[in-house]
Every structure is written in C-alpha cells, then in structure tokens.
Amino acid sequence: MSKEIPYKIYLEENEMPKSWYNLRADMKKKPAPLLNPGTHQPMTAEELSVVFCDELVKQELDNDTRFYEIPEEIRNFYKMYRPAPLVRAYCLEKKLGTPAHIYYKFEGNNTSGSHKLNSAIAQAYYAKKQGLKGVTTETGAGQWGTALSMACSYFDLDCKVFMVKVSYEQKPFRREVMRTYGASVTPSPSETTEVGKKILAEHPGTTGSLGCAISEAVEVAVGTPGYRYVLGSVLNQVLLHQSVIGLETKAALDKYGIKADVVIGCAGGGSNLGGLIAPFMGEKLRGEADYRIIAVEPASCPSLTRGVYAYDFCDTGMVCPLAKMYTLGSDFIPAPNHAGGLRYHGMSSILSELYDQGLMEARSVKQTDVFEAAEMFARVEGILPAPESSHAIRAAIDEALKCKETGEEKNIVFGLTGTGYFDMVAYEKFHDGKMDDYIPTDEELAKFRARLPKVD
Ligand SMILES: *Cc1c(COP(=O)(O)O)cnc(C)c1O
C-alpha cells in the first residue's frame, strides 16, 4: 500500500462514468424474460410500450449491449450531486476494533435522500424525449416518489404518485417534499382506481404494499393519454441506470489500488445492489476476478432467503407482466417493517438469476439488529442512515467482526443508499423498546406460495 487512503475518495467530474454498464451482456445464462400474463409468451416491445416509454422498453429487453452512453442532459443533472463519495469508515473500524477495512458508497447526498434519483432522472428524460405529458408511479417509503418528483420537475413533466398507505401516514413530510416538487400524491390502496377499490373491498383496513400501489399506478398510466408508468426498482432498466453507483465505486477503489473482497448491499427490489455490484459481478462472470457478494434483506420480507424462484406477478392486482424471480407471492403483504423500501415481495430477475447460479449470497436480518447497527453507525460516522441502508451496515459490521476473530485484513465495501431523516418514527420505536421483530412462519409463507401463477 503506497498511497494513504483518505476518509473520502472523490472522483473528479471528468472521471464520472460516461456510460451505464449492462450486466446482462456478460451473463451466459440470461435472466428470464417478462411474460404476458394472459398468453405466458415473452412480452414484446409493442406490448411493453403501452406501459413504458419506448427507449426504456428497448433497454429493458436488451440482454446484449454492454454499454449504454449516458445522454448529456442526464450527465449534467448527475453533476449536481455526483460523483458520490466512497468513504473509508475509519471511525467504525476503530469502534469495532477490526483489522478489516470498511468502505461505503454514500448515495444519500441529494434531496431525495437516496440512490433512486439516478434512475428517476433517466426515466423522466426518456419520457420527456418521447413527448409525454406525465408519468405515474408507486412509492413505498417515499424515496422513489421524491426522486421522481424532482426529476419530473426538472423536465417539466406531470407526476402522479401512489404512496403505500402506511408510509403516507407515517411520513407526512415526505409527501410534502413531493408536493414541493409539484407531484400529486395519493395514499394506496385508494378509491381512485378499480384495482384499489377491489383490494380495499377484500382487505379492509390494509396498510397497503408496493404491489398494490404498482397496480394502481399502472391502471392510471394505461388509462390516461400521454402518460406512461415508471418503476423505481426491480426492472432491468433500473439496474442499468444504477450501475453508475458500482462504476464510480470501482473507479474510486482502482484509484488507490484497492481490491474489494466483499461487496454488500441491501436488497428490496434489487436496484442499488444490482447497480453497486455490476462491475464486480461483471469481472466475476468474465473470470477476471472473484468477489463475495452479499444481499441483505429484512427477516420480515425474505424473498431471496425464503422465497421460491418462479414466475410471479410484479403487483398485487395482477395487471403487470409476470417476472421470474425469487418471490414470496404477489399478495404477500409483509408486517409493517420500518424499512419501507425493502417490503417488496419479489426481486430483480437479474439478481434472482445470479443468486440461483450461486454467484452471490443472501442473508436476512432482524429489524432490531438493523437499528442497533444504524445507531452505532450514526454515532461514529456521523451520517444518520436510512433503515434500508442499515441492513447493509448490519452485514458489514458482522463481516468486520468476523475479521476481528480471524485477524483478516479484508476490504469490505457496502452501499449506504440513503439517509433516515424521515424515519424518526422508526428510530423512536427502537429507542423506546417498542420495535418488534416479526418473522413470518413457514405456514404463512406456504399459503402465499400456493397462490403463485402456474406457468408451463
Ligand atoms: C428504495 C430504497 C432501497 C431499496 O431498493 P432497491 O431497489 O433494492 O435498491 C434501499 N435503500 C434506500 C435508501 C431506498 O430508498
């Protein structure tokens, strides 16, 4: 080690990635295609373009093009909050007394407070370029809705957000941030859509789920001329845009000759993890280097660790295409865990396929253990982390503690996806000892699994 490693490794503006990296191009076995829910045939571009913008459809279906140039307008927007720093967690290492070196890529340095802006701005750009009037979407914890509101206001597009009811009620300030950027926000399930009314009739008093909100947003997009639907995670196109996280991380590490041993990210729909690991997994797939890659999910919504790899609906209302993924079942509604962004029943098809091939690991963690890690991190590193991100912190700490036992000087890299200022109700519950650790039973999971669609 020649150069001393600073607390923050910054890239210069001109070192920012000029292209997104499409991991699928290096996968020998490609992720399974989206299927038409009626015919069970692969979705065509024509079918998808009813729901999504044309350019995004192209990106969604493209398993072969390795690099997509980032349009200049998007790169200029990125420059307002990127490159994001890669931070050496010296203080956390000291606190843990570990010989491991811990690094985190901080994506919370923008008003939306998360990595979601990286894809929101891309999706808004393509919608604008197509001459659309607006877009609809769902939001769980509110980060995606906020990011999309910001992106839409930048390109002067209308933005209709369906917000999972539990978050709408727990996070009124999030809602107001979205309205500040001009979005309209409706709690989901709502009475404004057919699918919302149906879900409310079947589950009165439900606190909602991402799956419900997606169904409502898609219904409105398809039924309103000049509108398309956009999604903040899960889809291949979103992972493509989020590759900017991993490309910057890799460039920063390379600058100091650091080779990551373990790469860790939290996994909701898989977008930040897919983006962070992309260049590392690419090297692994091409046989150039090896990395341990760990997905971390909540024990209350354990799609990778306890789900099944099967075709399932992406939404509760069953209006969306079928995706092959690790899933708990599209009508699984998790206990009201405070990491709203990790409550999705499924997982990106790309990550599901990589996991199925044994190319990455997954683990689930209990909510109170996550907040214990979050608080320790906040106290020593200064940043108040989002509950979602804190799943990755938990796993990074656990890995660093293992190194303490073995004396190994591993390089641990994790994604710090965002800040938790809007999650203080959750922190309050934790401090008051009122946070519960609900873990679904095998019987419960089997019940939802039995309702998976039959494909083949
Ligand atoms: C949405 C969100 C996540 C989880 O979503 P992925 O698509 O799995 O990345 C994680 N962290 C934060 C801060 C989020 O807002």
Single out the residue of 197, 208, 240 nearest to residue 350, CA to CA: 240
Q: Measuring from atom 3 of ligand 1, which residue has the nearest CA?
A: 341
Give residue ranges with CB within 6 A of ligand 1.
Answer: 114, 116, 141, 143-144, 233, 266-273, 341-342, 386, 388-389, 417-418
| Backbone φ and ψ of 74, nearest 5° | -70, -40
- Looking at residue 209, its pLDDT comes to 82
Residue 248 CA to ligand 1 center (angstroms) comes to 18
- Asked if residue 302 has a cis previous peptide bond (ω within 30° of 0), the answer is no
- Looking at residue 380, its pLDDT comes to 98
Residue 265 CA to ligand 1 center (angstroms) comes to 9
Task: Please say whether the beta carbons of 218 and 229 come within 8 A.
Answer: yes
Q: What is the pTM of this model?
A: 0.96
Q: Cα 367–163–295 angle (5° rounding)? A: 35
Ligand 1 atom nearest 107 alpha carbon? 13
Looking up tokens 């890239």 gives 11
Q: Cα 213–321–182 angle (5° rounding)? A: 35
pLDDT in tens, the chain (456 residues): 457 999 999 999 999 999 999 999 999 999 999 999 999 999 999 999 999 999 999 999 999 999 999 999 999 999 999 999 999 999 999 999 999 999 999 999 999 999 999 999 999 999 999 999 999 999 988 999 999 999 999 999 999 999 999 889 888 899 999 999 999 999 999 999 999 999 999 999 998 888 889 899 999 999 999 999 999 999 999 999 999 999 999 999 999 999 999 999 999 999 999 999 999 999 999 999 999 999 999 999 999 999 999 999 988 777 789 999 999 998 888 877 788 778 889 999 999 999 999 999 999 999 999 999 999 999 999 999 999 999 999 999 999 999 999 999 999 999 999 999 999 989 999 999 999 999 999 999 999 999 999 987
For the chain, what are the domain ranges?
A: 8-15+83-113+243-449, 20-69+116-229
Single out the residue of 413, 315, 375, 447 nearest to residue 101, CA to CA: 413
Q: How far apart are CA 55 and CA 126, in angstroms?
A: 6
Residue 456 CA to ligand 1 center (angstroms) comes to 32
Give the H/E segment covering residue 67. Answer: strand 67-69
Q: How far apart are CA 103 and CA 115, in angstroms?
A: 17
Residue 296 CA to ligand 1 center (angstroms) comes to 11
Task: Please say whether the beta carbons of 290 and 284 come within 8 A.
Answer: yes
- Looking at residue 211, its pLDDT comes to 80
Q: Measuring from atom 14 of ligand 1, which residue has the nearest CA?
A: 341
Q: How far apart are CA 135 and CA 123, in angstroms?
A: 9
> Would you call 225 exposed, middle or buried from its count of C-beta atoms within 10 A (0-12, 13-18, 19+)?
exposed
Tell me if 8-15+83-113+243-449 shares its fold with 20-69+116-229. Answer: yes
Quick count: other Cβ atoms within 10 Å of Cβ 290?
11
- Looking at residue 340, its pLDDT comes to 75
Beta bridge partners of 73: none
> Would you call 118 exposed, middle or buried from its count of C-beta atoms within 10 A (0-12, 13-18, 19+)?
buried
Looking up tokens 């279906």 gives 61
- Looking at residue 438, its pLDDT comes to 92
DSSP 168: H
Single out the residue of 352, 139, 117, 385 nearest to residue 244, CA to CA: 117
Q: How far apart are CA 19 and CA 25, in angstroms?
A: 14
- Residue spans of alpha helices (H) in 23-89: 45-48, 54-61, 72-78
The size of the chain, in residues, is 456
Using DSSP, state whether 103 is helix, strand or coil. strand
Q: How far apart are CA 216 and CA 319, in angstroms?
A: 9
- Looking at residue 2, its pLDDT comes to 55
Instruction: Give every CB contact of residue 333 below 8 A, 6+ residues apart in sequence.
Output: 203, 206, 207, 208, 209, 211, 316
Give the H/E segment covering residue 196. Answer: helix 194-202
Residue 25 CA to ligand 1 center (angstroms) comes to 24
The amino acid sitting at 108 is G
Residue 115 CA to ligand 1 center (angstroms) comes to 7
Ligand 1 atom nearest 342 alpha carbon? 4
The amino acid sitting at 116 is K
- Looking at residue 277, its pLDDT comes to 98
Name the CATH topology of 8-15+83-113+243-449. Rossmann fold (3.40.50)
Q: How far apart are CA 108 and CA 284, in angstroms?
A: 28
CATH C-level class of 20-69+116-229: alpha beta
Single out the residue of 147, 167, 166, 76 nearest to residue 107, CA to CA: 147
Give the H/E segment covering residue 137. Answer: strand 134-139
Task: Please say whether the beta carbons of 110 and 140 come within 8 A.
Answer: no
